Amino acid sequence: MKIPDYIERPFYLDRVMPYARKNIIKILVGQRRVGKSYILFQLMDKLSVLDPEVQQIYINKELHEFANIRNAEDLLAYIAARRRPDSRLSLFIDELQDIDRFEVALRSLQAEGDVDIYGTGSNARLLSGELATYLSGRYIEIKVYGLTYGEFLTFHRLEKGSESLQTYLKFGGLPYLIHLPLKDTVIFDYLRNVTDAILLKDIVSRYDIRNVAFLQRLARFLADNVGSLVTARKISTYLKAQKIKISNNLVIAYLSYLSNALLVLPARRFDIVGKKIFEIGEKYYFEDLGIRHALVGFRTTDINKILENIIFTHLKTAGYDVTIGQIGKREIDFICEKNGEFLYIQAAYMIPDDKVREREFGNLLAIPDNYPKKVVSMDAVTGGSYKGIEHIHLEDFLLTL
């Protein structure tokens, strides 16, 4: 196949290549339309240079020409009919979850020892539970997110600055936006279509959802309550006020569906002193801010929610495990852990006076360890530190990864 033009995303290439040409299945997992297919194309180009004699087969389950590949047997038959004898093979499959029992086929191909396998999926539970056990030790999962701010500048050929930052915060980081004029009506129409595709194809069809209206209402509720603690009881109470009766168990199930489709990303709370996860109450952030705004509108009054959301997704992209910190009655916006090292982040739109400064920096000062701590804000003047805690502007923070 002819590979379409693309803009390179070296961050992901660097994450995949250590496993390339090795007998381990590489799976890229991410929300619909974050650019997983184009990362596959990037890998195909890279590998064709490194191993020009290796045959490549590409399958995209979103294209009609591959509609007949419905299950593991169909997949194996398709590959067998096209595979060159006595040749190593690199196999690339887009949207693995649309092939029934795909794991059976992948394990069979992997057992042959001369098939280099890459795949993508749009479900956070693609390789969980029994499936992970079935492929245990045979795969690596790599999370793919929308464009970082730095990638956004590259894709749109923009210079850093307040106008570019505002555009990013407003429209989000889906790569396809480079093909559209950056106008509200155009962008948000596109983002609403993407949202509908996620809700209807990745959730309604996959889980045989009947109460579609409630699913849509729940998505809007989460969009309106970004950065707030959410419980099934709180949502049920909210719905009862609107004379809608939904059980707590159904709310929990629908929340898991939205999370599995990677529309929203949950963040659990962590007791810093007691070193334990709270069982009740999570915060939810949107994988893409533009989609969040497509659901409830872009409002400048929501700037604190927007700030928290973009910091959270940036930290997730950087590979951190992120929780919400609790230390007594103080809340730490983000506890970030990676490879046993910690980073603490406090988000504040502006720090206009000493009272706010004492609150935001004071929360971090209450943490009894010496790991790095930062306050991220949008103040015109940042830089330096306060009692050893770094104060950094949002734009500068988003350009570090």
Examine residue 1 and state whether it is found in any structural domain, yes or no. no
Give the pLDDT of residue 38.
95
Please tell me whether residues 253 and 310 are part of one structural domain. yes
Residue 290: predicted pLDDT: 98
Would 217 be classed as within a structural domain?
yes
Helical segments of 172-288, H only: 184-197, 206-207, 212-224, 232-241, 248-260
pLDDT at position 129, please?
A: 61
Instruction: Give the count of domains, the chain.
Output: 2
User: Does residue 330 share a domain with residue 203?
Assistant: yes
210's tokens: 């009947």
User: 155, 7 in Cβ contact below 8 A?
Assistant: yes
pLDDT tens readout for residues 24-36: 999 999 999 999 9
> What's residue 131's pLDDT?
63
pLDDT attached to residue 243: 77
Residues 78 and 155 placed together within one structural domain of the fold: no
124 & 257 share domain: no
Asked if residue 2 belongs to a domain, the reply is: no
Taking alpha carbons only, the member of 354, 265, 361 closest to residue 317 is 265
User: DSSP 3-state helix, strand, coil percentages of the chain (rounded to 5)?
Assistant: 45, 20, 30
Range of the domain at 35: 10-143
Q: CA-to-CA distance for 234 and 394, rounded, in angstroms?
A: 31
* Tokens read off for 354: 């000493």
Two tokens at 64?
A: 């009609």
Assigned domain for 104 exists: yes
Helix axes 162-171, 149-156, angle to 10 degrees: 100
CA distances, 237 to each of 217, 225, 233, 250, 295 (Å): 14, 14, 6, 13, 21
Averaged pLDDT, 52-79: 96
Average pLDDT over residues 130-143: 80
Please indicate, yes or no, whether residues 167 and 302 belong to a single structural domain of this protein: yes
Residues 261 and 366 in one domain: yes
Question: Does position 301 have pLDDT exceeding 90, yes or no?
Answer: yes
**Mean pLDDT score of the chain, rounded to an integer?**
92
Question: Residues 178, 313: one domain?
Answer: yes
Please indicate, yes or no, if residue 4 is contained in any of the structural domains: no
Please tell me whether residues 300 and 372 are part of one structural domain: yes
342-354 burial, b for 16+ CB within 10 Å, e for fewer? ebbbbbbbebeee
Out of 143, 158, 193, a domain closes at: 143
Task: State whether 125 and 35 are in the same domain.
Answer: yes
Single pTM value for the model: 0.93
Does residue 188 form part of some domain? Answer: yes
Q: How confident is residue 130, by pLDDT bands cut at 50, 70 and 90?
A: low
Report the range of poorest mean pLDDT among 61-75, 149-163, 169-183, 238-252: 238-252
Alpha-carbon gap, residue 20 to 18, rounded angstroms: 6
Q: At which of 143, 169, 204 does a domain end? A: 143
226 and 331: one domain?
yes
Please write the tens of the pLDDT for every residue from 201-238: 899 998 999 899 999 999 999 999 999 999 888 888 88
Residue pair 116/88 in contact by the 8 Å Cβ criterion: yes
pLDDT at 4 (0 to 100): 79
- Co-location of 106 and 245 in the same domain: no
In which residue are the tokens 């590259």 written? Answer: 154
pLDDT at position 200 is: 93
Mean pLDDT confidence for 367-388: 89
Instruction: Give the CATH number for residue 53.
Output: 3.40.50.300
Predicted local confidence at residue 125, as pLDDT: 79
Domain match, 268 and 192 both: yes
Q: Pick the last residue of a domain from 109, 143, 177.
A: 143
In a domain, 3, yes or no: no
- Write down the pLDDT at residue 277: 85
- Within a domain: 72: yes
